[in-house]
Structure 1
Amino acid sequence: MFEIRPAETADYPRIVRLWHQGWHDAHAALVPAGVLAFRTIDHFAIWLQEARDAFYVAVDAELLGFVSTKGSEIVKLYVDRDARGGGVAHRLLFFAELNLAESGVQEAELFCTAGNSRAEKFYQREGWIISRSFDDHLWMPKGQDGRFVVRTHRFQKTVTPAT
């Protein structure tokens, strides 16, 4: 069984590797090809340094996955390839929902690249509803001129504290 705890600085290299791998598994075929030059391991390290999210990790002997939250949003949710299908994503998502609810959030949101079928189906099974779809600008490192847009779904869910 694994535990979920706040991420520590020592977790960052593993978070970056897992995030890089998971992002490429889920998004590389869905985004404009030009953005891939800005999705290297080094760029994910920069992205993590710039993030203002609260990160939480699922850990057994190894880091199995992570989730991050900011305000009313579940920002990132990634699970290691070897841990997929074992309930890690469900537990991380539930943990994040509960965390948001306990901080006073009633209506949580998350964003998902349109066409990421695995994630879309997972969120819908977990009770999330697509509230709208729109064109969104992808993250780029500071100082880069490129602008890349991808179709994105905004999911919503009413969250409540545990009783």
Structure 2
Amino acid sequence: MVTVRLASAADADAIGRVQVESWRAAYAGLLPDEAVAGFDVASRRQLWREWLSGPPRPRSATFVVEDAGEVVGFAGIGPSRDPDGGEQAELYTIYLLPSCWGRGVGRALMLRAEEAMRSSGFRTAVLWVLDGNERGERFYRAAGWERDGQTKVDQFQGETITEVRYRKRL
């Protein structure tokens, strides 16, 4: 049984593990091996402990998805951080354990995140995905998201990366 709920500080360790396992699988071949090998569970857990224990952030939320009582994925939403963001939401992050890919678990999590963005008064949302992450892009397109032509160059794990933006009317 898959359930989606709001995350709490008690979920930080599981979220950190999910994030690193997902990154290692998703970014292998897209980032240099040493960058992928450098993904660190302990630092991710600490980051999530601090984030989930911090003060509430307006119109923002973090969700976890559980399968048989185990946290197998998470998503974070809030106001867009883009300079042209205006009154739109952003799907900050969505990751699943690789064993859950292609089983509908991510779709359930995405639907809950989109519902929360709508409930917070947003009418459109954006997300950023690593250029070349074909699995991720297929997932977003299947959920009704479309590339909007925007790109950005960023730093991730010491590597310069290019991300592409997707947009969806909520």
TM-score bracket, shorter-length normalisation: 0.7 to 0.9
Quick one: which amino acid aligns to residue 54 of structure 1? A
Root mean square deviation of aligned Cα: 2.1
> Taking structure 1 as reference, are residues 127 and 76 closer, same or farther at Cα in structure 2, changes over 3 Å only?
same
Structure 1 residues 54 and 109: alpha-carbon distance in aligned structure 2, compared to 1, 3 A threshold: same
1:68 aligns with one of 55, 76, 93: 76
**2 CA distance for matches of 1:67 and 1:24?**
17
| Residue of 141, 144, 150 corresponding to 2:161 | 150
Instruction: Give how far 1:46 is off.
Output: 4.2
SS in 1 for 2:4: strand
Q: Taking every aligned residue pair, what percent have the same amino acid on both sides?
A: 28
Distance 2:27 2:120 in 1: 30
d(CA) in 2 for partners of 1:77, 1:37: 20
How many angstroms does 1:154 deviate by? 0.3
In structure 2, relative to structure 1, the CA distance for the partners of 1:12 and 1:49 (3 Å cut) is: closer
Cα distance between partner residues in 1 of 2:101 and 2:91:
19
Question: Is the 8 Å Cα contact of residues 27 and 116 (structure 1) preserved in structure 2?
Answer: yes
Moved more, 78-87 or 105-114: 78-87
Deviation at 1:108, TM superposition (A): 0.3
Cα distance between partner residues in 2 of 1:89 and 1:22: 12
Query: Is this contact kept in 2: 1:58–1:88, CA < 8 A?
Result: yes
**Residue pair 1:135, 1:149 contacting (<8 A) in 2 also:** no
Alignment of 1:5-84 (within 5 A): 5-32=5-32, 35-36=35-36, 38-49=38-49, 51=51, 54-59=61-66, 60-71=68-79, 72-84=89-101
Structure 2 portions without partners, runs of 5+: 52-56, 80-88
* Residue identity opposite 1:101 in structure 2: R
Count of residue pairs brought into register by the alignment: 153
Aligned positions of 1:103-118 closer than 5 A: 103-118=120-135
2:141 to 124, 131, 136: 124
Secondary structure of 1:105's counterpart equals: coil
For 2:161, the aligned partner's letter is: V
Note if contact 1:111-1:154 (Cα within 8 Å) is conserved in structure 2.
Answer: yes
